[in-house]
């Protein structure tokens, strides 16, 4: 029974599967892991064509906040996505992403993980949860500043904030508030300087089309357009948005004198 318990903790397989595997290999735990993995591969092949549209985004920060790892782990149903073991598996993969260098998802999947590879480990997860399970994204990054993160309660939206300033609890709380704001308000850019020229020109074309039949002089139309561009900045630029916790100030007002925002990344489960 001790070997069964050990095998279950290492593989997540059911008790009966563990007992049967140990009998087949005369009690050799390592051989039983290989046997269960082979069975998991067979099960995974039957499930690999199912659509994995649910799941969780997990983020792991280094103790000094200078490096992060993020993984999106997908499954088939919200029931499995909300399972604590599934969330734990996603968090463990995010920690692995944080602590290892890789330049592509394929490189991440082939990396060494608990004596095997991430790709083989996913097959064990498929066997454990009984659903197609897929790593959809895996990223890691370092900074000379610091990172702070916010993950929505359903783990389907995550935001990473890069900032300059002391890595104090107070500054981390400020950065986390901004991350929470970004999760709710969906900014596209950090500030006006971050807005690409093609996005601005697209907005101007839309406004010109709207005003083309107004009968106003062209110079008046251009002034109106620039006014609309100013409103556009307030809608899509993180620092220009009204702060979600206090609509009387902007995000720039909130962080002033505390931290300097360098960048942000907003991730949504299943996005392109």
Q: CA dihedral in degrees (245, 251, 257, 262; nearest 10)?
A: 130
Q: Which two tokens stand for residue 6?
A: 């050990």
Distance CA 181, CA 96 (A): 28
CB atoms closer than 10 angstroms to residue 61:
20
Per-residue pLDDT 10s for the chain (272 aa) are 888 888 776 666 778 888 888 999 999 988 888 787 766 644 555 555 566 689 999 999 999 999 999 999 999 999 999 999 999 999 999 999 999 999 999 999 999 999 999 999 999 999 889 899 999 999 999 999 999 999 999 999 999 999 999 999 999 999 999 999 999 999 999 999 999 898 888 888 888 888 888 888 888 988 999 899 999 999 999 999 999 999 999 999 999 999 999 999 999 998 86
Report the DSSP pairing between strands 67-75 and 54-61: antiparallel
Domains observed in the chain = 2-47 (1.10.8.10), 54-184+259-268 (3.30.479.20), 196-236 (1.10.286.20)
Please identify which residue in the block is written with the tokens 């995010």: 94
What order of strands is seen across the sheet that includes strand 134-142? 54-61, 67-75, 134-142
Question: What is the model's pLDDT at position 42?
Answer: 46
Write out the E strands in the chain.
54-61, 67-75, 112-113, 116-117, 134-142, 146-151, 157-164, 242-243, 246-250, 260-268
Q: For residue 156, give the DSSP letter.
A: S
Question: What is the model's pLDDT at position 45?
Answer: 53
CB 55 within 8 A of CB 73: yes
User: Which residues make Cβ contacts (< 8 Å) with residue 89, sequence separation at least 6?
Assistant: 73, 125
């Amino acid at each position: 029974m001790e070997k069964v318990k050990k095998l279950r903790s290492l593989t997540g397989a059911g008790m009966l599967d563990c007992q049967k595997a140990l009998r087949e290999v005369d009690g050799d735990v390592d051989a039983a892991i290989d046997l269960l993995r082979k069975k998991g591969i067979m099960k995974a092949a039957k499930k690999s064509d199912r659509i994995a549209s649910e799941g969780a985004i997990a983020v792991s920060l280094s103790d000094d906040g200078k490096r992060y790892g993020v993984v999106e782990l997908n499954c088939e149903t919200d029931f499995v996505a909300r399972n604590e073991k599934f969330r734990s598996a996603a968090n463990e993969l995010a920690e692995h992403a944080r602590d290892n260098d890789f330049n592509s998802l394929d490189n991440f999947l082939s990396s060494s993980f608990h004596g095997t590879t991430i790709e083989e480990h996913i097959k064990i997860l498929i066997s454990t949860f009984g659903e197609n399970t897929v790593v959809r994204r895996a990223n890691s990054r370092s900074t000379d500043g610091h990172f702070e993160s916010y993950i929505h309660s359903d783990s389907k939206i995550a935001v990473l904030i890069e900032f300059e300033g002391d890595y104090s609890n107070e500054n981390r709380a400020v950065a986390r508030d901004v991350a929470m704001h970004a999760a709710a308000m969906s900014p596209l850019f950090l500030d006006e300087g971050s807005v690409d020229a093609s996005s601005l020109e697209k907005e101007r074309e839309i406004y010109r089309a709207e005003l083309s039949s107004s009968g106003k002089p062209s110079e008046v139309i251009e002034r109106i357009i620039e006014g609309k561009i100013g409103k556009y900045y307030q809608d899509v630029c993180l620092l220009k948005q009204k702060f979600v916790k206090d609509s009387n100030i902007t995000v720039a007002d909130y962080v002033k004198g505390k931290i300097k925002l360098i960048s942000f990344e907003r991730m949504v489960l299943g996005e392109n």
